[in-house]
Amino acid sequence: MSETPDKRNEAANPQWGARFAAGPSVVMQEINASVGFDRELWRQDVRGSLAHAAMLAKVGIITAQDEQAIRNGLAAIAREIENGRFPFDTALEDIHMNIEARLTERVGEAGRRLHTGRSRNDQVATDFRLWVRDAIDGIGAQIDDVMRALADRAVAHAADPMPGFTHLQTAQPVTFGHHLLAYVEMLDRDRSRLADCRRRLNECPLGSAALAGTSFPIDRAATAQALGFDRPTANSLDAVSDRDFALEFLGVAAISAMHLSRFAEEIVVWCSAPWRFIRLSDAFTTGSSIMPQKRNPDAAELVRAKTGRITGALVGLLTVMKGLPLAYAKDMQEDKEPVFDATGAWALSLAAIAGMVRDMMPDTARMRELAGTGFATATDLADWLVRVLQLPFRDAHHVTGRLVAKAEAKGCDLAGLTLQDMQAEEPRITADVFSVLTVEASVASRTSFGGTAPSNVARQAARWRAALA
């Protein structure tokens, strides 16, 4: 006797019910299935289902006995997944259907009651928000760790001069500690953006159902509270159909990855032979298959490269979402892989940067040597002319420019000029001018708030260490 349409369909996917007379083609199954990647959401799916079941029992939609059976079944399923024994089935499409089908196998009718008052649309929106929220907490802790590593090194090098650059040309001396603290400030803003993102996403879609809400007397505030959300989402259409929380998260990730990439680029430059500002150990470098002398800063280069993956994830998801009418569309199944991939790349980049900051061995003598090159104290000379001789700054700038040209012609730095050389350009210059032309005097003079003076750097580094303790 042939199967009825109901039975044929249930063999393909029992969760669909009786609408379809036949199962999908192989190609349809392949393009439609997401369990290969959305199984990453299993912890959040179990948490959401536990909260939903507790609420259903509380309002009398299911019995206490059904809730307990569901609770026990979900606990057993969690153990199966953790131990690698869960029978994932692509015919069931996604993690949500896989868990629900397995639950029904284990606990029978109670498992079939769990989906009352919810849809996969609000279920996945809830699970995904929970996942992103968990990722924010983990990434935030990693950002803190990188900031601590940088602040620790800044304390140690608060007074060690290095060249400061604009246009990658020597500009003015700064201290190595000051340079490192610049990245602490950037990462702190990344951390702040993450906190803003977490605050905005922390509303619970569960109970919005497919798009219109539900006729069952559910308690959405209870499920929101049980899952640690601030409140339920206020509009069911919005709740199931937007992914701006994921986009905002990827936006923060892209900005932060850009910051990490800039620092990684500096590590690459600092390690190179013409600079030799720092050395990385074998732990964060690789060799060459043909050149035995090579020590390549591959960890830094890969951090730099992963920025492309993270930025690409943001652009990709923006493109997925840009033309979707309300409410849910299957296009939105493409939301998770870029977020999962970007999060992994971001987390690995943060771990690599933290490791390299702690591993790097600065050559402070080399930094000091180059800090005074390229006429780095020219601005100090101009400032002296303004402060001591009361020249307008533009006049002082021109005098200093002529003295730089004279020093360049003589093959010396500004401090190598004689007093007579200087007085030929400005007769009122005295020998006191040489007191401001050393690297140490230059950095010590930058005492304005946020400046590179070692006393400033030491205070800022100590403040950050205390804040991050």
Catalytic residues: 167, 288
The structure tokens listed for 353 are: 């940067």
In the chain, the N- to C-terminal Cα span, in Å, equals 73
Compute the distance between CA of residue 434 and CA of residue 289 in angstroms, rounded to an integer: 51
Strand partners, 170: 165
The structure tokens listed for 154 are: 């800044």
> E strand or H helix at 59, and its extent?
none
The answer to whether residues 275 and 265 touch, using CB atoms and an 8 Å cutoff, is no
The structure tokens listed for 15 are: 């969760």
Strand partners, 286: 296
Residue found by looking up tokens 């390549």 in the block:
296
**3-state DSSP call for residue 80?**
helix
Q: How many CB atoms neighbour CB 224 within 10 A?
A: 23
The answer to whether residues 64 and 71 touch, using CB atoms and an 8 Å cutoff, is no
The answer to whether residues 42 and 98 touch, using CB atoms and an 8 Å cutoff, is no
Sequence-distant (6+) residues with CB within 8 A of 370 are 162, 163, 170, 275
Assign residue 60 a region (left: φ > 0; alpha: ψ between -120 and 50; beta: otherwise): left
Comparing CA positions, the residue from 280, 337, 275 lying closest to residue 35 is: 337
**3-state DSSP call for residue 328?**
coil
Q: Which amino acid is at 375?
A: F
How far is Cα of residue 50 from the mean position of the Cα atoms in its chain?
Answer: 30
| Distances, alpha carbon 302 to alpha carbons 281, 294, 299, in Å | 16, 17, 5
How far is Cα of residue 124 from the mean position of the Cα atoms in its chain?
Answer: 23
Compute the distance between CA of residue 149 and CA of residue 59 in angstroms, rounded to an integer: 51
Compute the distance between CA of residue 30 and CA of residue 14 in angstroms, rounded to an integer: 17
